[in-house]
């Protein structure tokens, strides 16, 4: 670590001052006390590596009238040459500096009560390569004066013009100034802009933002003013939130030194309310037009709805196996086991009306006439699913349920062996209706 001399530079001036007492021998009257005041504008604080620039040193020498009045002097003119020997201590480095100053009497040379000599010199520019404190001390003063005292009428006092070499009084403070050398403050990183939400769930919010020209070392996400998450890129996901709650998000950039930018403007996000699950039991009947019979229908309906948008995210419909009883040709009793396979169930509510639609494959694994089995095949089913759409009355609510009504066509059957024609006669065709009651479990 070393301080160096350099040319002009920068630094805010701060006054520094030191007063030193001297003894100056005068002819006939002996030593006379003299005061030397040293003023400079060395900066109190300097950035590391920046030159202080040359600084003016102003000196004021005060000679009292006490001794000279003994020889009848009432005025004093003169000049002085001063060399200020200073040292600058910066850590283990000590730099000696000599500042020459020429002084002369100023204003009216009256000795009432004292005479002053004033002069100025230049303190050289310094550069400090590290942080620390630089102490400036005046270690010695070489002061030589040439003086001419005169009586009130301007005549000689008998001392004539004389030279005197002054001695600095021992044991006095020597500190002229202390310069604090600091690293210049590092500007805070730019505040992120464009804070936005890219995804929202019941318990989490994903955020993104735009960075400044210089990306930060990290970003801190604040939730309602509290630091909650840290990210190294311009995205973050805050978890552990409460559903259906509004939060104020902010983000601030932090550089490698830990300096943080002001937080961004608050950006509010409301978490999702989540999913509402509505289960229902289904009971009712379906009228089969071709067979002129009514079949009992039972099952379950489960709807998952987005509580924010009302959109139905998922619909599960199951229909339990049942039996159909009819009379062939209006005379011969016939029965059939009926199995439903539901695919692609979907639902929605519009203007208070619940609509449930599904593709339902109808299978008749066992058919009897007069108690005799005429078809017993696991492949006896409709060639294509029946498209069934059910609608409620306009006052449907999930809490109270309601009823569903619909009409549908039963497609032709296949895979029933020799009884396929009979089965199609008994079941396939349009004009079928269904009515179901929805009740909460």
2 part of a folded domain: no
Do 231 and 144 belong to one domain? no
Confidence class for position 1, pLDDT limits 50, 70, 90: very low
DSSP H helices in 275-349: none
Distance CA 125, CA 287 (A): 108
Domain boundary among 160, 182, 204: 182
Do 416 and 311 belong to one domain? yes
Do 199 and 328 belong to one domain? no
Mean pLDDT calculated for residue range 100-128: 87
Element (H, E) at 85: strand 75-90
88 part of a folded domain: yes
Nearest one of 204, 294, 290 to 242, comparing CA atoms: 204
314 part of a folded domain: yes
Distance CA 281, CA 405 (A): 15
Domain boundary among 224, 248, 271: 271
Range of the domain at 30: 16-182
Domain boundary among 241, 271, 301: 271
Q: What is the pLDDT of residues 14-53, one digit of tens each?
A: 688 999 999 999 998 899 999 999 999 988 899 998 898 8
11 part of a folded domain: no
pLDDT value of position 331? 65
pLDDT value of position 64? 87
pLDDT value of position 65? 82
Do 260 and 206 belong to one domain? yes
What's the CATH number where 54 sits? 2.60.40
Number of domains in the chain: 3
Mean pLDDT calculated for residue range 108-130: 87
427 part of a folded domain: yes
Do 174 and 311 belong to one domain? no
Do 247 and 368 belong to one domain? no
439 in Cβ contact with 280 (< 8 Å): yes
Write phi, then psi, for 68 (nearest 5 degrees): -70, -25
Distance CA 440, CA 277 (A): 11
pLDDT value of position 381? 97
**Cβ-based neighbours of 410, under 8 Å, separated by 6 or more:** 288, 290, 362, 382, 386, 427, 428, 429, 430, 432
Q: What is the pLDDT of residues 232-291, one digit of tens each?
A: 999 999 999 999 999 999 999 999 888 899 999 999 999 999 888 999 999 999 999 999
Distance CA 425, CA 203 (A): 57
Do 286 and 355 belong to one domain? yes
Would you state the torsion angle of the CA atoms of residues 417, 419, 421, 426, taken in this order, to the nearest 10 degrees?
-130
Element (H, E) at 421: helix 420-426
User: How far from 424 is each of 68, 77, 171, 326, 409, CA to CA, in Å?
Assistant: 146, 141, 128, 13, 12
Distance CA 422, CA 139 (A): 128
User: How far from 26 is each of 106, 157, 161, 251, 352, CA to CA, in Å?
Assistant: 21, 13, 11, 76, 117
355 part of a folded domain: yes
Do 230 and 303 belong to one domain? no
Do 350 and 292 belong to one domain? yes
65 part of a folded domain: yes
Do 294 and 266 belong to one domain? no
What is the per-residue burial (b if ≥16 Cβ within 10 Å, else e) of 171-202? eeebebbebebeeeeeebbbbbeebeeeebeb
Mean pLDDT calculated for residue range 400-414: 94
Mean pLDDT calculated for residue range 304-327: 91
Tokens standing for 240? 């552990």
Q: Which region holds residue 157: left if phi is over 0, alpha if psi is between -120 and 50, else beta?
A: alpha
What is the rounded average pLDDT for all residues in the chain? 90
User: How far from 310 is each of 20, 115, 313, CA to CA, in Å?
Assistant: 90, 98, 9
Distance CA 275, CA 258 (A): 42
> Is the pLDDT assigned to residue 8 strictly greater than 50?
no
Give SS3 for 191. Answer: coil
pTM of the full structure: 0.54
Q: How far is CA 133 from the centre of its chain?
A: 36
Confidence class for position 215, pLDDT limits 50, 70, 90: confident
Mean pLDDT calculated for residue range 360-372: 93
189 in Cβ contact with 255 (< 8 Å): yes
Distance CA 216, CA 232 (A): 8
Distance CA 140, CA 87 (A): 10
113 prior amide bond cis, ω within 30: yes
Cα-Cα end-to-end distance for the chain: 84
pLDDT value of position 275? 87
Confidence class for position 398, pLDDT limits 50, 70, 90: confident
pLDDT value of position 9? 41
| 269, β-bridge pairs | 247
Most confident of 38-52, 81-95, 320-334: 81-95
Would you state the torsion angle of the CA atoms of residues 81, 85, 88, 92, taken in this order, to the nearest 10 degrees?
170
Confidence class for position 7, pLDDT limits 50, 70, 90: very low
> Is the pLDDT assigned to residue 12 strictly greater than 80?
no
Do 411 and 435 belong to one domain? yes
Quote the percentage of the chain above a pLDDT of 90: 69
What's the CATH number where 229 sits? 2.60.40.10
Do 217 and 339 belong to one domain? no
Taken in order 420, 424, 427, 429, the sign of the CA dihedral is positive
What is the per-residue burial (b if ≥16 Cβ within 10 Å, else e) of 346-379? ebebeeeebbbbbebbbbbbbbebeeeebbebee
A 10 A CB-CB count for 51 gives 20
120 part of a folded domain: yes
């Amino acid at each position: 670590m070393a301080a160096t001399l350099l040319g002009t530079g920068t630094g805010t001036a701060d006054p520094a001052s030191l007063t030193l007492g001297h003894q100056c021998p005068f002819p006939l009257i002996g030593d006379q006390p003299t005061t030397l005041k040293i003023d400079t504008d060395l900066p109190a604080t300097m950035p590391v590596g920046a030159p202080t620039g040359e600084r003016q040193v102003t000196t004021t020498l005060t000679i009292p009238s006490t001794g000279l009045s003994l020889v009848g002097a009432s005025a004093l003119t003169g000049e002085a040459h001063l060399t200020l020997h200073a040292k600058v201590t910066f850590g283990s480095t000590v730099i000696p500096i000599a500042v020459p100053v020429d002084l002369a009497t100023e204003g009216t040379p009256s000795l009432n009560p004292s005479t002053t000599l004033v002069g100025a010199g230049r303190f050289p520019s310094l550069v400090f390569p590290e942080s620390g404190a630089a102490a400036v001390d005046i270690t010695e003063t070489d002061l030589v004066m040439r003086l001419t005292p005169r009586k009130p009428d301007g005549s000689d006092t008998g001392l004539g013009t004389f030279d005197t070499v002054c001695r600095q009084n021992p044991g006095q403070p020597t500190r002229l100034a202390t310069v604090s050398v600091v690293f210049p403050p590092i500007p805070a990183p730019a505040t992120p802009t464009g804070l936005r939400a890219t995804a929202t769930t019941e318990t989490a919010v994903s955020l993104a933002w735009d960075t400044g020209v210089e990306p930060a070392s990290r970003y801190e996400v604040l939730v309602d003013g509290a630091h909650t998450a840290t990210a190294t890129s311009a995205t973050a996901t805050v978890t552990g939130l409460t559903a259906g709650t509004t939060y104020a998000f902010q983000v601030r950039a932090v550089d490698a030194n830990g300096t943080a930018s002001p937080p961004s403007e608050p950006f509010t996000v409301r978490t999702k309310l989540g999913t509402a699950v509505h289960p229902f039991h289904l009971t009712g009947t379906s009228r089969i037009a071709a067979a002129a019979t009514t079949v009992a229908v039972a099952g379950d309906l489960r709807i998952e709805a987005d509580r924010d948008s009302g959109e139905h995210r998922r619909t599960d419909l199951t229909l339990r196996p049942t039996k159909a009883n009819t009379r062939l040709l209006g005379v011969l009793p016939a029965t059939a086991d009926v199995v439903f396979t539901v695919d692609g169930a979907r639902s929605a509510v519009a203007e208070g009306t619940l609509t449930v639609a599904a593709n339902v494959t109808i299978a008749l694994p066992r058919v009897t006439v007069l108690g005799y089995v005429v078809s017993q095949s696991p492949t006896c089913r409709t060639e294509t699913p029946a498209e069934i759409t059910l609608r409620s009355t306009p006052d449907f609510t999930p809490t109270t349920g309601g009823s569903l009504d619909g009409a549908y066509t039963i497609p032709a059957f296949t895979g029933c062996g020799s009884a396929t024609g009979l089965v199609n006669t008994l079941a396939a065709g349009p004009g079928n209706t269904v009515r179901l009651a929805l009740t909460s479990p």
